[in-house]
Amino acid sequence: MANADVLDILSDTIPTTSRGAANKDEIIREKKKGPKKSIRRPEGMKREVWSLIAQDDRESVPIVPTDTKSGGNSYARWIKHSAMKVRSWQWTPFTNSARGPSDTFVLYHWQHKTNPDDPPQEYPFAKFNKHVDVPTYTDNEYEQYLQDKEWNRTETDVLFELCRKFELKFLIIHDRWNNILYPDRSVEDLKDRYYTICTTLEYARTKRHTDKYNFDAAHERRRKEQLNKLLSRTKAEEEEELYLMNELKRIENERKERERIISQDVQKFVQQQDQNISTTNNCIQRTVSSSSRRSSINQDYLQRLNSSSNRTSTTQRITTCDPPVGIKFPEFKRPGVFLRSQRMILPSSIPNKKLAVIDQVLKQCQLERNPMACEEIVDEFNDLRSDIILLFDLKNALNSAEYELQTSLHRLKGENGSTNMGVSSTQPSGAGINSSNEPSKTQFDFLLSQPNTPNENITSPRLSDSFEPTNIVRASTTERKRRALSSQTSTIKKRERLS
């Protein structure tokens, strides 16, 4: 994107790239093809990183202008220098001070000729010979602070000697550790001993706690063990883990979907409930002309919300939008002529599934699809169809919710698996669930076996029973698999917590 800005600014001065294809056909083809689609930035990548890697068709314009004067490795500099004479080189001997003060090893290399009066230069690479500061302790200090029941003095001395020699490269130190003379030590043991000594010495000498030598041997051991396990997974185990990860993701997504469906619909229903209450309680003064019955319902609904006392409907028109339930039928507010049956037309936004459901219910109620179009019928019919859709959505939400409940219960059972709780037979208590510890599990058990049906006064067969459970967000795993999955996810989580 930076390139785009820069190009835009400089677009007058920069010559256009070779779109000037000499071939006429190419030009025509290019025009027809249109601008080439640029590759999209991958999701995880930062914008700046992408702009570094991305290959645009247009030349990438550098933001910092390059210096074309002499200096740097440019052509101009070479030109300048080629006019000058070559400096003379000399085959000189040198010593490396990094090799130690008592070193007499002499090597030779080419150097620029120096004036003889200048002092001899130090070998420039000697300064890189850095050493690690391994602390040394006196006998006194050892006896006072550094005693340890697992390490004796000789071992400690040997350890420190090795540290000095190998510059704290503990892998080498561990390798060089003489496990015939001394007991076998792991890398963590050696490190642990070294760092505890360092911290104690530091504290002893300066009387200040420092965080410089923090080393947690136990943590390191566990970490390495986990890495080893990770490395030594068989192919089958790895695939299984991937599979489980994906399953987990999918289940989580489905669960979120279900949550969304349920919570959305509950809002709708609460509103619809209020609507229904207001239509049955109030006498609605119908303003026939351009307000449909639905908008008069809206008025009442809003009035209920705003002024709870005022129950008489007023003709004051409140411009509202329809509540998000059911179907929005075409309304005719503008002056003009229309045919009554046009108000019965279903909007095209309704998916086929819902259309089929409407037809099904109408058939069950022995109603025809397009009844005669007088005002009362049109209103009632539209409301009926709205209600049918509402029922359908409600049924779906209920199915999702029931499924959600089942999975939650199974998960609960799985986590409760170790403790043996006797499953005593309980009476189905439809509504309330008490929060006592012991019987709670058994209460939930009954929920697993029977669906809860508080009201049985609906005459069967229900209309909603014939609805196909179409969009239940449900995985097709069997119950056993589900339990195995949940137990495995919990073990994975535990493993993560451990490391």
Q: Which is nearer to another protein, 89 or 338 (CB)?
A: 338
Smallest distance from another protein to CB 121, Å: 59
Q: Which is nearer to another protein, 250 or 462 (CB)?
A: 462
Query: Which candidate, 36, 43, 46, 44, places its Cα nearest to that of 1?
Result: 46
Cα(223)–Cα(284) distance, rounded to whole angstroms? 73
The long-range contacts involving 162-166, CB below 8 angstroms and separated by at least 24 positions, are 163/132, 163/134, 163/194, 164/132, 164/134
Select the residue interacting with another protein from 151, 185, 404, 473 (CB under 8 A). 404
Q: Which stretch binds another protein (CB under 8 A): 128-136, 197-205, 288-296, 346-354?
A: 288-296
Residues 479-498 that bind another protein (CB under 8 A): 494, 497-498
The amino acid sitting at 30 is: E
Q: Which is nearer to another protein, 35 or 454 (CB)?
A: 454
Select the residue interacting with another protein from 146, 168, 198, 447 (CB under 8 A). 447
Select the residue interacting with another protein from 391, 475, 484, 492 (CB under 8 A). 391
Smallest distance from another protein to CB 287, Å: 8
Cα(335)–Cα(340) distance, rounded to whole angstroms? 14
Decide if residue 192 touches another protein (CB under 8 A): no
Select the residue interacting with another protein from 187, 198, 217, 398 (CB under 8 A). 398
Q: Which stretch binds another protein (CB under 8 A): 72-80, 96-104, 207-215, 269-277?
A: 269-277
Smallest distance from another protein to CB 465, Å: 9
Burial of 258 by CB count in 10 Å (0-12 exposed, 13-18 middle, 19+ buried)?
buried
Cα(149)–Cα(127) distance, rounded to whole angstroms? 42
Decide if residue 217 touches another protein (CB under 8 A): no
Decide if residue 64 touches another protein (CB under 8 A): no
Q: Is residue 289 a contact partner of residue 317, using CB atoms and an 8 Å limit?
A: no
Select the residue interacting with another protein from 166, 217, 241, 371 (CB under 8 A). 371
**Alpha carbon distances (Å) from 45 to 5, 63, 226, 306:** 21, 21, 29, 51
Smallest distance from another protein to CB 332, Å: 6
The amino acid sitting at 194 is: Y
Q: Is residue 298 a contact partner of residue 320, using CB atoms and an 8 Å limit?
A: yes
Q: Which is nearer to another protein, 134 or 401 (CB)?
A: 401
Smallest distance from another protein to CB 416, Å: 6
Select the residue interacting with another protein from 38, 121, 267, 273 (CB under 8 A). 273
> What are the tokens at 112?
């620029």
Decide if residue 462 touches another protein (CB under 8 A): yes
Decide if residue 290 touches another protein (CB under 8 A): yes
Cα(111)–Cα(405) distance, rounded to whole angstroms? 83
Task: Mark 322-361 with x for binding to another protein (rule: CB under 8 A) and - for no binding.
Answer: ----------x-xxxxxxxxx------------------x
**Which ranges constitute the DSSP H helices of 83-178?**
139-145, 153-166, 170-176
Query: Which candidate, 495, 494, 487, 497, places its Cα nearest to that of 244?
Result: 487
Strand partners, 108: 93
Smallest distance from another protein to CB 180, Å: 36
Smallest distance from another protein to CB 353, Å: 17
Decide if residue 9 touches another protein (CB under 8 A): no
Select the residue interacting with another protein from 122, 216, 240, 415 (CB under 8 A). 415
Exposed e or buried b per residue across 384-409, where buried means at least 16 C-beta atoms within 10 angstroms of its C-beta: ebbbbbbbbbbbbbebbbebbebbee
Question: Total number of residues binding another protein (CB under 8 A)?
Answer: 73
Q: Which is nearer to another protein, 52 or 288 (CB)?
A: 288
Phi, psi (degrees; rounded to nearest 5) at 148: -145, 145
What secondary structure does DSSP assign to 37-69, as a single string?
PPPPPPTTS-HHHHHHH---SSPPPPSSPPP-S
**Alpha carbon distances (Å) from 472 to 266, 390, 449, 451:** 16, 16, 20, 17
Smallest distance from another protein to CB 463, Å: 6
Residues 225-264 that bind another protein (CB under 8 A): 262
Q: Which is nearer to another protein, 307 or 499 (CB)?
A: 499
Q: Which is nearer to another protein, 52 or 431 (CB)?
A: 431
